[in-house]
A = this chain, B = another copy of it.
Amino acid sequence: MAAIEQKKMAPRDQGAPNYKEYLHPLMVKNYGKWKYHEKVKPGVIKRVAEGGDVLWVVRAGSPRTLSVDKVRGICQIADKFCKGFLRFTSRANVEFFVDRLEDVEPLVREVRDKLGFPIGGTGNGVTNIVHTQGWMHCNLPGTDALGAVKALMDELYDEFTNERLPARVKISLSCCSINCGGQADIAVNLQHHHPPKINHNNMQICELPKVVAICPVAAIRPATVGSKNSLEVVEEKCMYCGACHGQCPSMEIRDPDTDTLSLWVGGKSANTRGGPSFMKLALWGLPNNPPRWPEVGAAVKTLLRAYKDSAKEYERMGEWIDRIGWKRFFDLTGFPFTKYHIDTYRFARTTFNTSTQVKP
């Protein structure tokens, strides 16, 4: 590693910016006193305060990775219509605040025309895909999150600008199976097909004990390769978690020839109804196919079509599948159910169907 040039600065623990300075005046006035909201149309929500004040919130889809000029473009619009205030959502959408109904449409037009951002992402549609660094910045990715998301959102554009699905659909896309993108109704993730390959030449001896220690199943042990101290992986123990790769770049878990993408479904954070739930493997083996990953787009659309046709109102993806059963899920989507779908990890037994509750 190259030596790192440093400039001495005094430690300052300044803390978080003061959000209070960034609140729209109507928010300051009605802070914690909002009464209800109403959907005006996809992307536009009317918020009514106890005292009667009304604030329209307009949501626009953003690619998250923005040039400073694009951000300045956003600011221009907010200055014009929003008294200079705006926010981003937890899914990287931009939200504009309007206190006069007659400003809504002009704002919507400028967002579309000047920024090229679609209006939508609210209610029972597909909102923005949360995603990760991919080949733009991370050291671990097996695919490019940014490009795959762009290609996928092109396919799902009409679901972003409409609210015509049974419930909200949250999608995440991550560039390695660590999955910084998190649980979601639909998650696209890289899938490794074998244990790490070891680049014995690059192995940094200093990190050996750390790498051995990090393996959760004690699959790594010291070995002499050629005349060098190195490591080896006990194949039958390793379960491809990739923790060693994060610790040591020479434990290469990625493989451009064999890595594929997987589709996961039914993750949920909300405590609604059955509560939060983990996402489950729906489909593995999708080719990692830049620049537009057409197979991923096709699979997600197949999935959404089945969901739209068969789910009931207020049924999130996982709840829909719980009701119809996984067999019908695989029938409806045409995805194959394989032995690899059956859990083999430490809580595997808790996934067995220990009842006669089966469907035709």
Write the residues of chain A forming the contact surface with B, with a CB cutoff of 8 angstroms. Answer: 271, 275-276, 346-347, 349-350, 354-357
Cα–Cα distance between A347 and B350 once the two chains are bound (Å): 8
Kindly state the separation between the CA atoms of A350 and B278 in the bound complex, as whole angstroms. Answer: 12
Contacts of A347 in B (CB 8 A): 347, 349-350
List the 3 shortest-distance A-B pairs measured between CB atoms, nearest first: A275-B355, A271-B356, A271-B355
Pick from B275, B346, B349: contact of A354, CB under 8 Å: B275
A357 contacts across to B, CB distance below 8 A? 271, 275
User: Which residues from chain B contact A276 at a C-beta distance below 8 Å?
Assistant: 354-355
| Nearest-neighbor residue (CB-CB) of A358 within chain B | B271
Closest chain B residue, CB of each to CB of A349: B347
Q: List 6 A-B contacts (CB under 8 A).
A: A271-B356, A275-B357, A276-B354, A346-B346, A347-B347, A350-B350
- Bound CA span A349–B347, Å: 9
* Chain B residue contacts of A354, Cβ below 8 A: 275-276
Chain B residues with CB below 8 A from A349, complex form: 347
A29 to chain B, nearest CB (A): 30
Q: How far is the CA of A271 from the CA of B359 in the complex (A)?
A: 13
Report the bound CA distance from A357 to B268 in whole Å: 14
For A350, list chain B residues within 8 Å (CB): 347, 350
Nearest CB on B from A355, distance (A): 4
Measured between beta carbons, the chain B residues less than 8 angstroms from A275 are 354-355, 357
With A346-B346, A347-B347 given, name 7 new contacts (CB 8 A): A271-B357, A275-B354, A276-B354, A276-B355, A347-B349, A347-B350, A350-B350
Shortest distance between the CB of A194 and any CB in chain B (Å)? 27
Bound-complex Cα distance A356 to B276 (A):
9
Q: How far is the CA of A271 from the CA of B355 in the complex (A)?
A: 6
A310 to B19, CA, bound (A): 48
**A350 → chain B, closest Cβ, in Å?**
5
Closest CB in chain B relative to A20 CB, distance in Å: 27
Q: How far apart sit A346 and B347, CA to CA, in the bound complex (Å)?
A: 8
CA distance A357 to B270 in the complex (A): 11
Report the bound CA distance from A357 to B271 in whole Å.
7
Question: In the bound complex, what is the Cα–Cα distance between A276 and B357 (angstroms)?
Answer: 10
Task: Give the CA-CA distance A49 to B140 in the complex, in Å.
Answer: 70
Please indicate the chain B residues that have their CB under 8 angstroms from the CB of A355 in the complex: 271, 275-276
Q: Which residue of B lies closest to A278 (CB)?
A: B354
Chain B residues closer than 8 Å to A271, beta-carbon distance: 355-357
Chain B residue nearest to A269 (CB atoms) is B355
**A276 nearest CB across to chain B (Å):** 5
Q: In the complex the two chains form, what is the Cα distance from A347 to B347 in whole Å?
A: 6
| Shortest beta-carbon distance from A352 to chain B in Å | 12
* Alpha-carbon distance between A350 and B354 when the two chains are bound, in angstroms: 16
Kindly list chain B residues whose C-beta atoms are within 8 Å of the C-beta of A356: 271
- What's the minimum C-beta distance from A269 to chain B, rounded to whole angstroms? 10
Nearest CB of chain B from residue A277's CB, rounded to whole Å: 9
Alpha-carbon gap, A271 to B349, bound state (A): 18
Distance of A266 from chain B, by nearest CB (Å): 15
A153 to chain B, nearest CB (A): 30
**Shortest distance between the CB of A49 and any CB in chain B (Å):** 26
CB proximity of A64 to chain B, nearest CB, Å: 28
